[in-house]
Amino acid sequence: MRRSSAAARLCCRWTHRAHAPSVVHELQRLREMMHEAAATPSLRAKEAVVRAYPDLAALLRAVYVDGHLFHMSSATLARFRAHRPPADKAAVPPTVAALLQQLGARTVRGHAAKQLVHTFLERHGVDAQHARETPPTVLDVFYRCLDRHLGVGLSALSVQRALTGPGTLDVDAWLTRLRTHGHVAPLPMPVVLARPHPSLPLPPTRTAWYASRKLDGVRCLFVVDGTHVYALSRHGRAFRMLGDFAAQMRADLDACPVVPRDGPWLLDGELCAWSNAEQESFVRAASLVTRQAPDTAALTYHPFDMLTLREFLAWRESPTRTLSARLHALSALTAWLSTHRPATRVRALPQKRLHAPADLDSMLREAAAWEGVMVRDDQPYEGRRSHAMLKVCARQEAEFVVEDVEISTMRLPIDGVYADRRAVASIVVRYRGRRVAVGSGMRPSERVHWAAHPEDLRGRTVTIAYAAETARLDGHAPSLRFPVLKYVYGTQGRPF
């Protein structure tokens, strides 16, 4: 007897349907897939679940792979619909995928876009079906599509891999998307990410460690493609407000004789906003890169790596140049710009080769006012979180009393199963008169338990670890940067 999986039988039944599915059926099928994927702990098994629903490929591409922004969220749409606007007589797309593609293309905008979605849901019977179901209803599933977060433990890269199969990143396709759209999200951005290393000494290495100041700025990659310079976030989104900044950088690089001329290449670094005291402000830098009319003259760019585009995208296929070779090329670039283009906003970030543990000790003593120190091994490039890149930061700790807990519905995995659960999103403590929400440091099981028993947190003494005190631009009391819940003491307070 031949045996087949439930997913295969569902796929078979779908293949033999003689008529086009309704929108309600499309959302019901997506709900089935979400339920199966959430109940599957293995990433590869989740991808297999996605492949078992080929009829959802267009919808999943619209949500995860195409990279369109829909320019509205479920919350804004729900507020619009709360006023019960009437459905109009305009034509609506036949499927959810077609609707999302239309929103991404921005053929309709603002109020008209919300009206189109409202009419779509009414016309296709989604609202009527929603009234007959218990959560998650088909409307809930649609809202998750609109928010581009199905909550099944799959990233955009995993969904793309499930739809297209395993393989290396297509450099030409990546570059074509960048040239066409000005961004690459949600295609992969293989940026190197650091691992924290709070204690000394450094791990042993067969090569050498290079250390530099850890800047408190906005990570930015400038991709240089001929006469075009694209400013991208580490997730592949475009910094569209940096047009003037990129134009000046292009003029500087066009005049520079030491830049690569044999194909696209990129700089990886930090955009910083500096105060008169030579201290960078993350709050100000983040504000400048997102402001509609940014004062980009207040920004400087500090690159810490320089790669060809193929090195960046295809580093898994063949080893790249070592860090020291890339830093040598980068140093030649920044030195030329400093000498011949003194008004450039590209500034060198000094890199110090560590010959002995005392070198790092000396640097850390000098770095008392810094965000920390970045330490990198002299290895070929790895576009992932790597032990070859470490951040040495001084974490501070303090005791606080929990004033309140903030409870919401969160998509959490417990025993490998993702589900919507009532959980503690954050605890609230008070620092220098300011209420500070701390949302990190809690396990999923703890979040669920404390949501059911908030008395186990309120009034308790806790230890909070944090990176630093953060200045506020609004003139209010300072807050804590990267606070993490470390320990919850008993009802008698701290016993030691």
* Full 3-state SS string of 25-52: HHHHHHHHHHHHHHCCCCHHHHHHHHHC
251, 281 contact by CB (below 8 A): no
* 290, 438: one domain: no
* Cα–Cα distance for residue pair 410/30, rounded to 1 Å: 20
Task: List, for the chain, all residue ranges whose pLDDT scores fall below the cut of 70.
Answer: 1-20, 67-68, 157, 164-169, 198-200, 276-277, 283, 291-294, 367-368, 394-395, 471-477, 491-496
Domain end point (choices 121, 143, 161): 161
* 198, 291: one domain: yes
Q: Tell me the residue type at 82.
A: A
* Cα–Cα distance for residue pair 389/198, rounded to 1 Å: 13
| Predicted local distance difference test score (pLDDT) of residue 41 | 85
| Predicted local distance difference test score (pLDDT) of residue 262 | 86
Query: Which helix (H) or strand (E) is 126 found in, with range?
Result: helix 126-132
Task: Answer yes or no: is 150 within a domain.
Answer: yes
* 227, 278: one domain: yes
Task: Answer yes or no: is 53 within a domain.
Answer: yes
* 406, 472: one domain: yes
Q: Are strands 265-273 and 352-354 parallel, antiparallel or unpaired?
A: unpaired
Residue 204's domain comprises 193-384
Give the tokens for residue 26. Answer: 């499309």
* 97, 224: one domain: no
Strands (E) across 360-478 are located at 373-377, 385-392, 396-401, 404-414, 417-431, 434-438, 461-466, 468-470
* 377, 400: one domain: no
**Tally of domains in the chain:** 3
Task: Please give the distance of CA 145 from its chain centroid, rounded to a whole number.
Answer: 18
* 124, 232: one domain: no
* 355, 237: one domain: yes
Burial annotation 139-173 (CB, 10 A radius, 16+ → b, else e): bebbbbbbbbebbbbbebbbbbbbbeeeeebebee
Q: Tell me the residue type at 260.
A: P
| 308 DSSP β-pair partners | 265
| Predicted local distance difference test score (pLDDT) of residue 343 | 92
* 358, 403: one domain: no
Q: Is the peptide bond before 136 cis (omega within 30 degrees of 0)?
A: yes
Residue of 125, 100, 127, 103 whose CA lies nearest to 113:
103
* Cα–Cα distance for residue pair 41/37, rounded to 1 Å: 8
* 227, 331: one domain: yes
| Predicted local distance difference test score (pLDDT) of residue 311 | 94
| Predicted local distance difference test score (pLDDT) of residue 185 | 78
Give the tokens for residue 204. Answer: 């042993």
* 244, 149: one domain: no
Residue 471 sits in a domain whose CATH number is 2.40.50.140
* 330, 200: one domain: yes
**Phi, psi torsion values for 33, nearest 5 degrees:** -65, -40
* Cα–Cα distance for residue pair 208/403, rounded to 1 Å: 48
Residue of 215, 156, 160 whose CA lies nearest to 186:
156
* Cα–Cα distance for residue pair 324/316, rounded to 1 Å: 19
Cβ-based neighbours of 145, under 8 Å, separated by 6 or more? 30, 59, 62, 63, 96, 100
Task: Answer yes or no: is 174 within a domain.
Answer: no
Domain end point (choices 138, 161, 184): 161
> Is 364 buried (19+), middle (13-18) or exposed (0-12) by CB count in 10 A?
middle
Task: Answer yes or no: is 91 within a domain.
Answer: yes
